[in-house]
Amino acid sequence: MVGTIAVTIQNDEEPVTDEDRCHFTTGKLCFGEREGEGIPMEDVLAGFGLKTGNFPLKK
């Protein structure tokens, strides 16, 4: 995932800013603290007062 983000940033037409580098570094540190695990989607949605059920899958 980190490699994918780095490639995406490099292929962007906009120059990489110090703020971009700071966010990237913070993300890497977060993954390191979580032993390579991201934040569960349920936790992210809960931060906005939402649940996965708010987004039903289309079949």
Q: What is the model's pLDDT at position 16?
A: 87
* CA-closest candidate to residue 2, choices 31, 45, 22: 31
pLDDT, one tens digit per residue, over 28-44 is 898 888 887 888 899 99
Domain layout of the chain by residue ranges: 2-54
Assess whether pLDDT exceeds 60 at residue 49.
yes
Is the backbone of residue 57 left (phi > 0), alpha (psi -120 to 50) or beta? beta
Q: What is each CA distance from 10 to 17, 20, 35, 46, in whole angstroms?
A: 12, 11, 26, 32
